[in-house]
Amino acid sequence: MKRASIYIILIFSVLMSSCNHYNKMLKSTNLDEKLDYAIKLYDKKQYYKALPLFEELITMYRGTKKAERTYYYFAYTNYRLADFTSAAFDFENFAKTFPNSEYAEECSYMAAYCYYEDSPDYSLDQTNTMKAINQMQLFVDRYPSSKRIEKVNELIDQLRWKLELKSYENAKLYYDMEEYRAAVTSYKNLVKDYPATKFREEALFMILKAGFRLADKSVESKKQERYQQAQLAYGEFVNAYPQSKYKKEADGIHQSISKKTDKSTSLVK
Domain count of the chain? 1
Residues whose CB falls within 8 Å of the CB of residue 226, separated by 6 or more in sequence, listed in order: 211, 214, 215, 218
Query: Does residue 71 lie within any of the structural domains?
Result: no
What is the reported pLDDT for 19? 60
| 178: region left, alpha or beta (phi > 0 left; psi from -120 to 50 alpha) | left
The pTM of the full predicted model, rounded to 2 decimals, is 0.78
pLDDT in tens, 114-125: 999 999 998 888
Least confident among 115-129, 229-243, 251-265? 251-265
Examine the pLDDT at 240 and tell me if it is beyond 90.
Answer: yes
Q: Give a yes or no: residue 247 inside a domain.
A: yes
pLDDT at 190 over 80: yes
The boundaries of the domain holding residue 221 are: 177-269
Distance CA 50, CA 13 (A): 22
**Distance separating the N- and C-terminal Cα atoms of the chain:** 107
The CATH number of whichever domain residue 253 belongs to comes to 1.25.40.10
How much is the pLDDT for 23? 79
Residue 38 domain-assigned (yes or no): no
Task: Please indicate, yes or no, if residue 164 is contained in any of the structural domains.
Answer: no
* Residue 268 forms part of a structural domain: yes
Confidence of residue 196 (pLDDT cuts 50, 70, 90): very high
Residue 161 lies in a domain: no
- Domain assignment present for 109: no
Q: What sign does the dihedral 84-86-88-94 (CA atoms) show?
A: negative
Comparing C-alpha atoms, which of 253, 259, 182, 171 is closest to residue 212? 253
Q: Residue 83 region, left (φ>0) first, then alpha (ψ -120 to 50), else beta?
A: beta
